[in-house]
Chain A
Amino acid sequence: MPNNQDLAPILAGYERTRENLIPLLQEVQDRFHYLSVESVQAVADHLQLSANDVYGVATFYAQFRFVPPGRHHIKVCEGTACHVRGSDRILENISRLTGIVPGQTSADGQFSLERVACFGSCALAPVMVIDEKVYGRMTASKTTRLIEDKK
């Protein structure tokens, strides 16, 4: 869990104005992979905002996470092309295998799951990404093998 000391170098790069809120949150998340209670508070303090305000802004955007990601971060595309080619079945299968729904991290810290709007790889639909590696033309059985391999 990041403490304020870890955040200090990041915070130092931003002037204390509200306009810097989102870039700052993005950099904090890039560095720590999620926004913790402490980092939201630190960002709020730096920009002289209330933590509630910062949290309100952050939860508006799908890009911010509030729980640490698992060792393997799974993103499933729910864009139009993937949707018509059955991405919901893939998502369902992953949920069943990992016991988590989008936004969660499994209790053993192995997997986290995210629903994404489009990767721009519609030709490969349905698409999923595990740890930045793209897997196209997925089926339920292919996902099962992938997940079992990573367990």
Chain B
Amino acid sequence: MGIVSLTINGRPVEVEAGTTVLEAARTAGINIPTICAHKDLNPYGSCRMCIVEIEGVRGYPTSCTTPVAPGMRVTTESERLATLRNRTLELMFSGHPNSCLVCLHREACEQYRPQAVKAARSTRCGFCANRDECDLRAMALRAGSKELDLPTLYGSYTLERNDPFMDRDYNLCVLCGRCWRICEKIHGQPAISIINRGKWARIGTAFSQSHLYSGCTFCGACIDICPTGTLTDRFARWHGKPDREIASTCLLCSEGCSIISQSKQGQLLANVMIGFDRTDSLCALGRFAYAQIVNTGLRLIRPMEREGEDLIPTDWEAALETAAARLLTAKKKTATVISETITREERFLYKELTRCLGGELFVLQSSENEDNAVAAALAAAVQKGDIQALIVNGALLPAAVVEQIPFVLAIDCLPSEISRLATVVLPAAILSETEGSFRTSSGVIKNIAAASVAPGYARPEWSILCDLGRAMKFDGFSFQTAAEVGDLISDDPAPEIFAGNPRHNVRELPLRFRGHDLVDIVPALDAFSPLHSVKAAQIEETADGGFPILEKKEIVPNMHFYKIHAPQVAGFAQPGQFVILMARETSERSPFTLVDWNKEEGWISLVIEEVGRSSRELASLQTGGRIAHVSGPLGMPLTIERKGTVLLGGGCYGIGAIYPLARALHQAGNRVICAIEASSSYLLYQQAELQEVCDELLVATKDGSAGVRGGVQEILSWVAGQEPIHQFIAIGCTFMMRMVTELSRTLKIPTLVALNPIMVDGTGMCGACRVSIDKTTRFACIDGPIFDGHGVDWDELASRRSAYARQEVEALSQQVDLNELVLRPAGESCGCGGH
């Protein structure tokens, strides 16, 4: 390979022959924008952002696919190139929701709402989990323009959730092909490909079957290489950008794959591969399930000691004291049974402790459950009374054996039959919460780094064992760090090779951790079980009783219309009131404004935006289904008076919510102007219905694709300039209501807003919906929801509304859409590719 000399932007550059112009420019510190290019992928040349001018070469070649040649004179920046790149970006954005990028109020909105809304489909950056990491957005913001000349063509693909771990929103896809290319690179035969052609081209699987059947091994590389928010890890999706990445090792089987653990504020979000190479690939457990295991709400979080029938929470000191005292009485009659899914240091200390007690240590493989060879051997010894004490770190023995042992010390992370029978239970930090080293089945010693904080009072096993050893006055347990322990280990054997090959076959995953069945912790793993269709059918059956859904449809992305049979509510409903719904008996209560009702026919209608767990549960119900509870009508109705000209402003769900107010105010003889806003034209709805009940309907969109460019705010200014407004009423997101209220204050227009704080009972008992109006505390549920907009303490409302942001993200269901899997088995697509 020779050295090639060329000039880029007039600067001489020397690179090896075979280098691409793009790489050469990067070597010289010259940045060329790219989307489809990636350092770990072969040149592809699909996005055309990296075009350059080369003297003597016709047109604008893509630098990522053009090899350098001697004497080449390359220009990477020119007015012409900038225009062409901006055109390319515009073309890409015509198929990618972009309203936030052209919105006149983006900066204020993003400051007000630092976290993206956890919507189902991402219809704008503000609804996108990838907002802070999006290459496309970064590029558009760098270009600086707020003008996009091309119309938005929203894809209208449904959000795909028919696999255990991914949310796929192909409405965001720009077809850069990084995903299928990395899949092909790592796995040889890709589990995804570009299907169909032209406008209908998209990433998909053969016959649009679930990834479960397309050969996907769930290594997550496609998610990690996607430059947009199209592909996301369902668990990590709404947690935001990780604030820490640290190299570590997976402990779930003896293969000990290298991982990068990503965490945020001490919470593990995901493990990703150390590089985009075949040898770096991870199995579904290592990539996706790890964080769910660590973060499960089932974890043991405090030491416990048995008192009679009960396990009573206690402190570490007391628990260790009891354990030490009881173990010392069972010297030479102690068995220690541990899972190999711990660090070398911990394994060493278990060995040392057992040796000091004169007992015997048994180490089990990661895939073992309670019925194993060790259990059989121990059963006999227990029968003979040879075992008086047991130290166990998982659900590794059958209850029948354990209950015959006088003293059981469980050092574990999850409750099990054993921890329920134990005398002392000590909560252990696991996986990403501990540190040390791990010897893989191939004999290599790898580092384990602590990437997340253990829950509650849980502590790493090495430190528990040190304390236990010291409490029994054994020598050799005075270690301050795991590393000090590690220094003493020299001759530990490599663990047995794990029998399966989970990185290449999802059916060979070790679905156990310390003997615990992982399906109980990571529900989505159930999708790997052949029985999932049976369980899906059971989900259907739970809907009995409740309120029948007469009609349900998604009118625009994320916005669901419901017509519900609820005669009691319909009989008493008045404009401005709301109902509280519970999708299922176990759902949380959530309030929704009434859109319409019919006393005679006994129905009510609602528009619900899918932005969290409760609304997702509601959205999953269909026509003919039932809503477990509908209580209402609640709240104070709007006082309907003849005021003159009334302007009603509605955004998002507010477009539906202003409808009954418009109708009543119109009937009362007011001149009613309805102003509705949406991000883009494809998100507008209910225009015909509103037209019928108002004198004038004005539309605004953030991207200018329909009506005025802007929002209710812009319409308010315009109308105020045309005619006097006697009353202004705004319903929508808190940001919109706040902005328009500030404007109407300067315009001196009396303003009412319908507030949407977190609400629980809706009857004034719990106080969750407390708001401050003119420095007085009011309850939105019984004093509102409609209040004088100029008196609202918006900062307080915003902070109260976001008080449970993290819990709300954690509450999002990780279940697979089993019904979708059952309803659309492989090969039943119509074959038209969604035309």
Which one of B59-67, B186-194, B498-506, B648-656 contacts A? B186-194
Is B833 an interface position by the 8 A CB rule? yes
Cβ 8 A contact of A37, one of B189, B215, B827, B832: B827
- A 59-103 binary contact with B (CB < 8 Å = 1; else 0): 111000111000000000000000000000000000000000111
Give the Cβ gap from B222 to chain A, nearest Cβ, in Å.
Answer: 12
Q: How far is the CA of A98 from the CA of B189 in the complex (A)?
A: 40
- A 100-137 binary contact with B (CB < 8 Å = 1; else 0): 01111000000000000000000000000000000000
Which of A55, A59, A61, A101 has the most chain B CB atoms closer than 10 A to its own CB? A59
Is B598 an interface position by the 8 A CB rule? no
Q: Report whether B206 and A37 are in contact in the complex, using a CB–CB cutoff of 8 Å.
A: yes
Q: Report whether A104 and B189 are in contact in the complex, using a CB–CB cutoff of 8 Å.
A: no
Is A40 an interface position by the 8 A CB rule? yes
Restricting to B158-183, which residues have a CB under 8 Å from any CB of A?
180
- Given known contacts A37-B826, A37-B827, A60-B196, is B832 in contact with A52 (CB within 8 Å)? no
Query: What residues on B are CB-neighbors of A102 within 8 Å?
Result: 835
Is A56 an interface position by the 8 A CB rule? yes
Q: Report whether B835 and A52 are in contact in the complex, using a CB–CB cutoff of 8 Å.
A: no
Q: How far is the CA of A69 from the CA of B196 in the complex (A)?
A: 19
Query: What residues on B are CB-neighbors of A41 within 8 Å?
Result: 206
Q: How far is the CA of A51 from the CA of B197 in the complex (A)?
A: 17
Q: Report whether B826 and A49 are in contact in the complex, using a CB–CB cutoff of 8 Å.
A: no
Is A54 an interface position by the 8 A CB rule? yes
Give the Cβ gap from A123 to chain B, nearest Cβ, in Å.
Answer: 29
Query: What residues on B are CB-neighbors of A37 within 8 Å?
Result: 206-207, 826-827
Query: What residues on A are CB-neighbors of B196 within 8 Å?
Result: 59-60
- Given known contacts A51-B206, A51-B214, A55-B206, is B192 in contact with A103 (CB within 8 Å)? no
Number of interface residues of A (CB under 8 A): 24
Cβ 8 A contact of B207, one of A48, A66, A103: A66
Cβ 8 A contact of A52, one of B197, B215, B831: B215
Q: Report whether A49 and B189 are in contact in the complex, using a CB–CB cutoff of 8 Å.
A: yes
Q: Report whether A104 and B830 are in contact in the complex, using a CB–CB cutoff of 8 Å.
A: yes
Give the Cβ gap from B831 to chain A, nearest Cβ, in Å.
Answer: 3
Q: Report whether B830 and A56 are in contact in the complex, using a CB–CB cutoff of 8 Å.
A: no
- Given known contacts A37-B826, A67-B831, A104-B830, is B195 in contact with A56 (CB within 8 Å)? yes
Give the Cβ gap from A37 to chain B, nearest Cβ, in Å.
Answer: 4
Query: What residues on B are CB-neighbors of A61 within 8 Å?
Result: 197
Q: How far is the CA of A104 from the CA of B193 in the complex (A)?
A: 23
Is A50 an interface position by the 8 A CB rule? yes
Query: What residues on B are CB-neighbors of A49 within 8 Å?
Result: 189
Give the Cβ gap from B598 to chain A, nearest Cβ, in Å.
Answer: 33
Query: What residues on A are CB-neighbors of B829 within 8 Å?
Result: 66
Please give me the residue from chain A that is nearest to B213 by CB atom.
A51
Is B205 an interface position by the 8 A CB rule? yes
- Given known contacts A50-B215, A53-B190, A60-B197, is B831 in contact with A101 (CB within 8 Å)? no
Give the Cβ gap from A3 to chain B, nearest Cβ, in Å.
Answer: 14
Cβ 8 A contact of B193, one of A48, A53, A103: A53
Q: Report whether A55 and B207 are in contact in the complex, using a CB–CB cutoff of 8 Å.
A: yes
Q: Report whether A53 and B189 are in contact in the complex, using a CB–CB cutoff of 8 Å.
A: yes
Q: How far is the CA of A68 from the CA of B292 in the complex (A)?
A: 44
Restricting to B804-835, which residues have a CB under 8 Å from any CB of A?
826-827, 829-833, 835
- Given known contacts A59-B196, A59-B197, is B830 in contact with A52 (CB within 8 Å)? no
Query: What residues on A are CB-neighbors of B195 within 8 Å?
Result: 52, 55-56, 59
Q: Report whether A65 and B831 are in contact in the complex, using a CB–CB cutoff of 8 Å.
A: yes
Q: Report whether B832 and A103 are in contact in the complex, using a CB–CB cutoff of 8 Å.
A: yes
- Given known contacts A60-B197, A66-B207, A104-B832, is B827 in contact with A52 (CB within 8 Å)? no
Q: How far is the CA of A40 from the CA of B195 in the complex (A)?
A: 14
Q: How far is the CA of A3 from the CA of B196 in the complex (A)?
A: 25
Q: How far is the CA of A37 from the CA of B206 in the complex (A)?
A: 8
Please give me the residue from chain A that is nearest to B835 by CB atom.
A103
Query: What residues on B are CB-neighbors of A53 within 8 Å?
Result: 189-190, 193
Q: Report whether B833 and A59 are in contact in the complex, using a CB–CB cutoff of 8 Å.
A: yes
Query: What residues on A are CB-neighbors of B206 within 8 Å?
Result: 37, 40-41, 44, 50-52, 54-56
- B 348-362 binary contact with A (CB < 8 Å = 1; else 0): 000000000000000
Q: How far is the CA of A41 from the CA of B827 in the complex (A)?
A: 11
Query: What residues on B are CB-neighbors of A67 within 8 Å?
Result: 830-831
Query: What residues on A are CB-neighbors of B180 within 8 Å?
Result: 52
Please give me the residue from chain B that is nearest to A49 by CB atom.
B189
Query: What residues on A are CB-neighbors of B832 within 8 Å?
Result: 101, 103-104
Give the Cβ gap from A91 to chain B, nearest Cβ, in Å.
Answer: 13
Q: Report whether A52 and B826 are in contact in the complex, using a CB–CB cutoff of 8 Å.
A: no
Which of A36, A51, A102, A103 has the most chain B CB atoms closer than 10 A to its own CB? A51
Give the Cβ gap from A7 to chain B, nearest Cβ, in Å.
Answer: 16
Query: What residues on A are CB-neighbors of B830 within 8 Å?
Result: 67, 103-104
Give the Cβ gap from A40 to chain B, nearest Cβ, in Å.
Answer: 6
Please give me the residue from chain B that is nearest to A103 by CB atom.
B832
Q: Report whether A52 and B205 are in contact in the complex, using a CB–CB cutoff of 8 Å.
A: yes
Q: Report whether B831 and A103 are in contact in the complex, using a CB–CB cutoff of 8 Å.
A: yes
Q: How far is the CA of A93 from the CA of B327 in the complex (A)?
A: 86
Q: How far is the CA of A50 from the CA of B211 in the complex (A)?
A: 13
Q: How far is the CA of A59 from the CA of B202 in the complex (A)?
A: 11
- Given known contacts A37-B206, A40-B207, A103-B835, is B827 in contact with A55 (CB within 8 Å)? no
Q: Report whether B193 and A55 are in contact in the complex, using a CB–CB cutoff of 8 Å.
A: yes
Query: What residues on B are CB-neighbors of A56 within 8 Å?
Result: 193-195, 204, 206
Q: How far is the CA of A99 from the CA of B193 in the complex (A)?
A: 31
Restricting to A21-42, which residues have a CB under 8 Å from any CB of B?
36-37, 40-41
Cβ 8 A contact of B191, one of A52, A59, A60, A65: A52
Please give me the residue from chain A that is nearest to B189 by CB atom.
A50
Give the Cβ gap from B577 to chain A, nearest Cβ, in Å.
Answer: 44
Q: How far is the CA of A61 from the CA of B197 in the complex (A)?
A: 8
Query: What residues on A are CB-neighbors of B827 within 8 Å?
Result: 36-37
Give the Cβ gap from B245 to chain A, nearest Cβ, in Å.
Answer: 31
Query: What residues on A are CB-neighbors of B835 within 8 Å?
Result: 101-103
Please give me the residue from chain A that is nearest to B193 by CB atom.
A56
Cβ 8 A contact of B214, one of A52, A59, A103: A52
Give the Cβ gap from A25 to chain B, nearest Cβ, in Å.
Answer: 13
Q: How far is the CA of A151 from the CA of B204 in the complex (A)?
A: 36
Query: What residues on A are CB-neighbors of B191 within 8 Å?
Result: 50, 52
Query: What residues on A are CB-neighbors of B190 within 8 Å?
Result: 50, 52-53
Query: What residues on B are CB-neighbors of A52 within 8 Å?
Result: 180, 189-193, 195, 204-206, 214-215
Give the Cβ gap from B345 to chain A, nearest Cβ, in Å.
Answer: 43
Q: How far is the CA of A113 from the CA of B204 in the complex (A)?
A: 24
- B 711-745 binary contact with A (CB < 8 Å = 1; else 0): 00000000000000000000000000000000000
Can you give 26 contacting A-B residue pairs, CB < 8 Å?
A37-B207, A37-B826, A40-B207, A50-B214, A51-B206, A52-B190, A52-B191, A52-B192, A52-B193, A52-B195, A52-B205, A52-B206, A52-B214, A53-B189, A55-B193, A56-B194, A56-B204, A59-B195, A59-B833, A60-B196, A66-B829, A67-B830, A67-B831, A102-B835, A103-B830, A103-B832
- Known A52-B215, A59-B195, A102-B835; further 5 A-B contacts with Cβ < 8 A: A55-B206, A56-B204, A59-B196, A66-B829, A104-B830
The 4 closest A-B pairs by CB, nearest first: A66-B831, A56-B193, A50-B189, A55-B206
User: Which B positions have Cβ atoms within 8 angstroms of A?
Assistant: 180, 189-197, 204-207, 214-215, 826-827, 829-833, 835
